[in-house]
Chain A
Amino acid sequence: MTQAQLLTLINSAIAFGTVIMLGAIGEILIEKAGNLNLGIPGIMYLGGIGGMIAAFYYELGGGASPVVGLILSFLCSLLFSALGGLIYAFLTITLRANQNVTGLTLTIFGGGVANFFGASLNTLAGGVGQISVPVTSSAYIAYTKLGYMGTIGKVLFAHGFMAYLAILLAVAMRYFLNRTRPGLNLRAVGENPGTADAAGINVTRYKYLAIIAGSAVAGLGGLFYTMDYIKGTWANDGTIEGLGWLAVALVIFATWKPVGAIWGSYLFGFVYWAYLYIPGLSRRTLELFKMLPYVITLVVLIIVSLRKKRENQPPASLGLSYFREER
């Protein structure tokens, strides 16, 4: 492998990793509140299409400022994914619907909404052809001059701003969950809502806020994918769904630690793209090679359950709904 190839591989690993890292840290926040949200792929779809819709109509109306497009699409993406989270929160917390089933439904719904608009935005607006938002996307892709400076610059600085935002969010999430009062309260809710309730913590409010905020973060993964990873276009190929499930897997891989999700996501990205650089892979064996991220996750899952270390376990009440009168 040449140095240039290695550089490309590292950069695609980071870009790939950023998508699933954002999804995973959003899901970590939600799972820490005791909700296993299998709707993450749907949320990421919603976040992606939310940004797309805003950027599309902005550019359709003649908007030419990348910064305005960026702000609009960013906010709209947050709004869409937070709304998706709200649906899930309302059904699982207030109406006590089963979390797994509701999450799966959200994935179906989010994928439907996103791919519907992704495929028909142009038709609905009276245009034809492939949807594309080059102006807004350019603001997401842009990086500073440092990105051109030698190998180190290309590895560290040649990414759109969201790649750094993701790391920042992961570190902030770690601080929030381990060092702040609300963060500790939130974890108490996820471990044992009954005890948290008795201690005067408003379980319902914490769960709602965690799910909505976590969904907004996870949705950014979809936004990064549409705006940066595939450069402001839309593809109805189900990639976001696959990435969403990888984000859910990454939560296990990182054993519910936001900072663990950073290097975990890059490792996933590395393994995911490595097949391009392994000589002598036929088209068949290549498909087997692509299994690797999932096999690795499976192995981690098994090892975690074998070792039973307490700090690596999922939140104790993960997946259970809480109803004060049912204790």
Chain B
Amino acid sequence: MDKEHAGHEPLLRMSKRGELLPAWKSWGIRLIAFFLSLVASGLVIVLISGLNPAAVFATMLDGAVGTSKRMWVTIRDAMTLLCIAVGLAPAFKMRFWNIGAEGQILVGAIASAACMIYFKNLPTPVLLLVMIVSSLIAGGIWGFFPGVFKARWNTNETLFTLMMNYIAIQLTSYFVALWENPFGSNSVGVINSQTKAGWLPNLLSDGYNKDFGWNVIIVLTVTIIMYLYMNHSKHGYEIAVIGDSENTARYAGIRVNRAYVRTIVFSGAICGLAGFVAVSGASHTISTSTAGGRGFTAIIVAWLAQFNSVVMVIFSFLLVFLQKGAQAIASAYNLSQEVSEMITGIILFFLLGSEFFVNYTIHFRGKKVKA
């Protein structure tokens, strides 16, 4: 301790909480943080634009869930985000920093689009199955390389997967140029717009809510499978042990290297599937923005949910809701679309910060600490 502080206690001191907080308290803290973040982002909006924040939030609500069409779009996008987050969770739980979801989504999307273009004459169920399998394989391959290098040579996976993203983006540009339609447009356009081959069929068909369909079923199934895998399987248990302590896992006889590769391939495969959902279930085309930063957003979803599949559903909806709402603000008040990212950033800062108050307690000077 340096001279000025010798002899007396600092004003603030923090220590780790002795026992875990009960769930209602920890979620209470997060909820408070969320409301504070809304206040903060409201302030920012007012300062920038001079608008009434209540009106702004009303616009947000309307923009996200105001009409049934908007609601479906919100649900659809939340499902895609959820799929990615669910895919990332096992890798992150074993402290494998898979920043490469963006790339894994893209290669999955390329694989799906390729099937739609080259196998369009197959019967729909077969075609969809081929698309699903190939997107899983493509994503898995994209996860395999960083996994093997991490397991064998301890190559930094954060940076490895980051580079794989850019390789995937360039690969996508290549295929966009290859499949360009019409020629010279530098985009693929809607694939099979006449036959709708390889499009995920509608679940609730009223001819209007075109995009809502099997996405929800597929993603929720994956979520449930992942929940069971993580919580009730031997592999899931191994992941948890490795995440807590690699040495303990080794000592317990878990084959850590094999678990690394297996988990990251699995993780990449699910992200690849998200690429399928994005292409076949939503946009019916492919471009470098098919992933659109969702690979990064999903990391935050998975992290905030503490890798709990069920909580991820809530956070996916929250984030997509915010995005859609902020886009509505932007168009209603003639602001730029990027206001949504700014608000998302502010809210995430608060939520990330709130974890501290869940895990630590602050002591003020002079107060006696309970024994």
Chain A contact residues, CB within 8 Å of chain B:
36, 38, 87, 91, 94-98, 100-102, 104-116, 118-120, 123-124, 202, 236, 242, 245, 248-249, 252, 283-285, 287-288, 290-291, 294-295, 297-298, 301-302, 305-306, 314, 319, 323, 325-326
Chain B contact residues, CB within 8 Å of chain A:
2, 15-16, 48-49, 97, 99, 149, 153-156, 158-160, 162-167, 170-171, 173-174, 177-178, 293, 296-297, 299-300, 303, 334-346, 348-349, 352-353, 355-356, 359-360
Q: Which residues of A contact B334 (CB under 8 A)?
A: 123
* Contacts known (A96-B356, A98-B303, A101-B352); A109 close to B342, Cβ less than 8 A: yes
Q: Give the docked Cα–Cα distance between A284 and B293 (Å).
A: 24
9 cross-chain pairs, A with B, having the tightest CB-CB distances, nearest first = A109-B345, A112-B341, A112-B342, A119-B336, A95-B356, A115-B338, A287-B173, A305-B155, A294-B166
Q: Give the docked Cα–Cα distance between A291 and B163 (Å).
A: 10
Q: How far is the CB of A100 from chain B (nearest CB, A)?
A: 6
Q: How far is the CB of A214 from chain B (nearest CB, A)?
A: 18
Q: How far is the CB of A327 from chain B (nearest CB, A)?
A: 12
* Contacts known (A116-B336, A297-B163); A87 close to B178, Cβ less than 8 A: no
* Contacts known (A302-B155, A305-B154); A112 close to B345, Cβ less than 8 A: yes
Q: Which residue of B lies closest to A105 (CB)?
A: B348
- Contact B341–A109 (Cβ < 8 Å): yes
Q: Which residue of B lies closest to A115 (CB)?
A: B338
* Contacts known (A105-B345, A287-B170); A245 close to B48, Cβ less than 8 A: no
6 contacts between A and B (CB under 8 A): A96-B356, A287-B171, A287-B173, A287-B177, A295-B163, A305-B154
Partner of B338, one of A111, A283, A301, A319: A111
* Contacts known (A100-B158, A287-B174); A113 close to B342, Cβ less than 8 A: yes
- Contact B342–A107 (Cβ < 8 Å): no
Q: How far is the CB of A226 from chain B (nearest CB, A)?
A: 16
Q: How far is the CB of B319 from chain A (nearest CB, A)?
A: 10
Q: Which residues of A contact B173 (CB under 8 A)?
A: 287, 290
Q: Which residues of B contact A306 (CB under 8 A)?
A: 153
Q: Give the docked Cα–Cα distance between A144 and B267 (Å).
A: 55
Q: Which residues of A contact B344 (CB under 8 A)?
A: 108-109, 112
Q: Which residue of A lies closest to B296 (CB)?
A: A104
Other A-B pairs beyond A36-B158, A105-B348, A301-B155, 11, CB < 8 Å? A91-B352, A95-B355, A100-B99, A112-B339, A112-B345, A113-B338, A116-B335, A120-B336, A248-B159, A294-B170, A295-B163
- Contact A109–B349 (Cβ < 8 Å): yes
Q: Which residues of A contact B293 (CB under 8 A)?
A: 108
Q: Which residues of A contact B299 (CB under 8 A)?
A: 100-101, 104
* Contacts known (A96-B360, A107-B296, A290-B170); A102 close to B352, Cβ less than 8 A: yes
Q: Give the docked Cα–Cα distance between A305 and B154 (Å).
A: 7
- Contact A116–B338 (Cβ < 8 Å): yes
Q: How far is the CB of B131 from chain A (nearest CB, A)?
A: 23
- Contact A249–B162 (Cβ < 8 Å): yes
Q: Give the docked Cα–Cα distance between A283 and B177 (Å).
A: 7
- Contact A105–B300 (Cβ < 8 Å): yes
- Contact A314–B341 (Cβ < 8 Å): no
Q: How far is the CB of B30 from chain A (nearest CB, A)?
A: 13
- Contact A104–B48 (Cβ < 8 Å): no
Q: Give the docked Cα–Cα distance between A104 and B336 (Å).
A: 21
- Contact A305–B156 (Cβ < 8 Å): yes
Q: How far is the CB of A301 from chain B (nearest CB, A)?
A: 6
Q: Give the docked Cα–Cα distance between A115 and B297 (Å).
A: 18
- Contact A245–B162 (Cβ < 8 Å): yes
Q: Give the docked Cα–Cα distance between A233 and B334 (Å).
A: 21
Q: How far is the CB of A215 from chain B (nearest CB, A)?
A: 15
Partner of B149, one of A104, A285, A287, A305: A305
Q: How far is the CB of A178 from chain B (nearest CB, A)?
A: 23
Q: Give the docked Cα–Cα distance between A298 and B156 (Å).
A: 10
Q: How far is the CB of B121 from chain A (nearest CB, A)?
A: 25
* Contacts known (A106-B345, A326-B16); A97 close to B338, Cβ less than 8 A: no
Q: Which residue of A lies closest to B354 (CB)?
A: A95
Partner of B353, one of A95, A107, A245, A283: A95
- Contact A120–B348 (Cβ < 8 Å): no
